[in-house]
Amino acid sequence: MFRSILTRTKSVSWRDVTKHLDRCYADTPEPEPDLKRKCFLLNLVFFVVTVTVALFVGGQLRDLRFDRSRSGSSYFGDKISDGDVYDYIVVGAGAAGSAVAARLALAGRRVLLIEAGGDPNLLTKIPAAAVTLAASSLDWYYDTIPNNKSCLSSQGKRCRFSRGRCLGGSTSINYMMYTRGNRQDYDFNLTGWTWKDIEPYFLRYEGLSNLNRLPKSSAAYHNTSGVVSIDFFQDSSNPWHERLIDGLKSLNFPYNPDVNAKSQIGVSRILGFTRGGERVSTANTYLEMEIVKRKLRIAKNTQCTGVIIDENNIARGVTVHRGANKTLRLYVKHEVVLSAGSIGTAQLLMLSGVGPKDHLEEFGIPVKSDLSVGDDMSDHVLPLVNIKVDHDHRPMSDLTILGSKSLEILQWLITRSGPMSSNSLTDITAFLNTKCYNYTLRRLVNNKPECELPTMQFIYAYMKKGVISLAPSVYYSNIPHAKESFQQISDENSKSAFIVVSSVVLQPKSRGWLRLASSDPLTPPAITPNYLADERDVEEMVRGIKIIENMVDTPLYKKYNASIQRTKIADCPGVDEDGYWSCYARHMTHSVQHAVGTAALGRVVDERLRVKGIKNLRVGDGSVLPHLPRGNTAAAIIAIGERLSDFLIQDQGLE
């Protein structure tokens, strides 16, 4: 039997094999016993083949690893010594930091880029492996302080809070969705900060492939030759891909081929930070440019512990912690740039004496500039809603699921295509203003000018049947639910696949904050996301869930017996009672990991991104955005980094 299958697989094409395997996973209520046995064996064979091939390909995998240059590829990167002087020091090699440092290096400046983490690993290359990166060594995975109003079903009522810790920062571990938000989001009521001012920086780095798949009218909104590759994700090959679009269309959502062009509204297949089936990060783009590889110094696995600010309030350099007990002082001729992200930058500012006076004094930190650092943090939040689909009471064996996963990985390794080249969610997203949806007519009406300003983004994921019980720890790292909810959800998933809908509140009213937990720079700061403190955010979530209910009620979804999973929650009204959904939203709260605003333009930095009251110190990252864009944040934050490099070059010598 074993041999006959092997010979058969040799003589048939790849497509035939996958087709045959597909039959094994098809929802046949009563599979013939013969097929069942064949499937089992096929899976076994594929599992063995995959492992063998994976080991064999191991040699080639080494080439795949992020590899800047011979000199910079060691654990600590380029050699640095106590007392070194650079033109500029950039702290944090994330979305913005990699862009600033690379542009300065390209302009001939002597730049040191300091990153707390190391190289991104192989898994970061595989788009669909993003789910495995949560809580990994590449994730800061900060603890958060509960507010008793959100994330109530999560373990300890603490909301998950991930941030990338490696070259590329969060762009090495995120979901790669490329959206710019709305033009109006960039009106910061500050000289030089309107869409018109920032648009050139979005275009400067964009390297869009397949412009021909967008309407002609889109051309003016894109660049095809920038350094950061943008492309469509390949087929996520889930049976609901087209249905998700059709379901929204039947609620009168227009199909919008390009949410980054004139209008954001409607359902779309979005673009991603991807190229040739692999992840694109700011590390494998900016930091891999030939000139950058030669000129930019990078210190990896090196954590900045503070900015050296002299008695005249001029930034002179930074202190870093590297290896077991090593502390170095590094200096700048021109300026220090903090790009350590909304959490890292705010913490470093406070440690260096820039922050709320009373708070710094509590920790005995001499105050250099009394500013509201850490305040007014905002983040995109959502209630996770599972739609049960593809029910099939035939239990699917772990081996079967493992077999299909192995096959997908094998396909990716060989061809860089297939499900592993999709971002592990789906590429379908929709933007709408919930005030422009008529709940009586069950239609998006879009009958007022303000309807062009979305209040909500729907993001969809497809979760195969049985995957939660197969990899509970992966699920838990992403969605750290306490036992009661976890058990119910896992049980349902053993019977049905899920469409997981995130109805993201795009302009949350609640604000969180960040404070030091200790004056020790190696102790993470105290983060209070404070989601859903403002009741209006819950109301918006419930408006979103009502639309999901309408969607599941359309003939298309009905045809497939789709239904929303109503998890029983001890502290909530019954699943069919009033108030269930708002209570549900407070329990099933999750963040999109977009927090911004902790060193906002206007409050902490001026319109040239200079820290108020300190000379030669600037901030360029998510912390400067006074509020969230109506979309995913990476695109905007890279643009901030691009712009800061211009500021630095233009202002050099003026300081």
Ligand X SMILES: Cc1cc2nc3c(=O)[nH]c(=O)nc-3n(C[C@H](O)[C@H](O)[C@H](O)COP(=O)(O)OP(=O)(O)OC[C@H]3O[C@@H](n4cnc5c(N)ncnc54)[C@H](O)[C@@H]3O)c2cc1C
Q: In this chain, which of 68, 183, 204, 297 binds ligand NAG, going by CB under 6 A?
A: 204
Q: Rule CB under 6 A: which of 421-440 touch ligand NAG?
A: 438, 440
Instruction: Measure the CA–CA gap between 72 and 629, rounded to whole angstroms.
Output: 35
Partners of 443 in the β-ladder: 438
Asked if 117 contacts 301 with a C-beta cutoff of 8 angstroms, the reply is yes
Q: Which range, of 49-57, 437-445, 561-569, 633-641, touches ligand X by CB under 6 A?
A: 633-641
Nearest to ligand NAG of 561, 650 (CB atom): 561
Q: In this chain, which of 89, 90, 93, 102 binds ligand X, going by CB under 6 A?
A: 93
Q: In this chain, which of 561, 577, 579, 655 binds ligand NAG, going by CB under 6 A?
A: 561
CA dihedral angle for residue 31, residue 32, residue 38, residue 39, rounded to 10 degrees? 0
Binds 203: which of ligand X, ligand NAG, none (CB < 5-8 Å by kind): ligand NAG
Q: Which range, of 69-77, 199-207, 334-342, 554-562, touches ligand X by CB under 6 A?
A: 334-342
341 belongs to the binding site for ligand X (CB under 6 A): yes
β-pair type (297-299, 111-114)? parallel
β-pair type (354-355, 369-370)? parallel
632 belongs to the binding site for ligand X (CB under 6 A): yes
Instruction: Measure the CA–CA gap between 113 and 169, rounded to whole angstroms.
Output: 12
Number of chain positions touching ligand NAG (CB under 6 A) = 19
Q: In this chain, which of 560, 626, 646, 652 binds ligand NAG, going by CB under 6 A?
A: 560
Instruction: Measure the CA–CA gap between 464 and 127, rounded to whole angstroms.
Output: 17
The residue among 526, 519, 481 whose CA lies nearest residue 500 is 481
Binds 382: which of ligand X, ligand NAG, none (CB < 5-8 Å by kind): none
109 belongs to the binding site for ligand NAG (CB under 6 A): no
Shortest distance in whole angstroms from residue 479 CB to ligand X: 12
CA distances from 433 to 264, 536, 547 (A): 10, 14, 11
Binds 339: which of ligand X, ligand NAG, none (CB < 5-8 Å by kind): ligand X
Instruction: Measure the CA–CA gap between 187 and 548, rounded to whole angstroms.
Output: 31
| Secondary structure letter of residue 233 according to DSSP | P
**622 annotated among ligand-binding-site residues:** yes
Instruction: Measure the CA–CA gap between 589 and 537, rounded to whole angstroms.
Output: 11
Q: Rule CB under 6 A: which of 377-406 touch ligand NAG?
A: 391
Three-state DSSP at 304 gives strand
Binds 225: which of ligand X, ligand NAG, none (CB < 5-8 Å by kind): ligand NAG
Chain-centre distance for alpha carbon 585: 21
Nearest to ligand X of 388, 618 (CB atom): 618
Binds 212: which of ligand X, ligand NAG, none (CB < 5-8 Å by kind): none
DSSP calls for 115-143 = -SSB---GGGGSGGGGGGTTTSTTB--B-
Three-state DSSP at 646 gives helix
Backbone angles phi, psi at 567, to 5 degrees: -65, 130
154 belongs to the binding site for ligand NAG (CB under 6 A): no
Locus of tokens 């119910």:
488
Nearest to ligand NAG of 329, 558 (CB atom): 558
Write a three-state SS string for 528-543: ECCCCCCHHHHHHHHH
Q: Rule CB under 6 A: which of 212-241 touch ligand NAG?
A: 223, 225-227
Binds 117: which of ligand X, ligand NAG, none (CB < 5-8 Å by kind): ligand X
Q: Output the CA torsion sign for 114, 116, 118, 123.
A: negative
Nearest to ligand X of 99, 444 (CB atom): 99
Interface with ligand NAG by CB under 6 A: which residues?
Answer: 146-148, 189, 200, 203-204, 223, 225-227, 324-325, 391, 438, 440-441, 560-561
Which amino acids are annotated as binding site for FAD, given as ranges?
622
Interface with ligand X by CB under 6 A: which residues?
Answer: 91-97, 114-117, 162-165, 169-171, 173-177, 303-304, 339-342, 344, 348, 593-594, 621-622, 632-635, 637
Which amino acids are annotated as binding site, given as ranges?
622
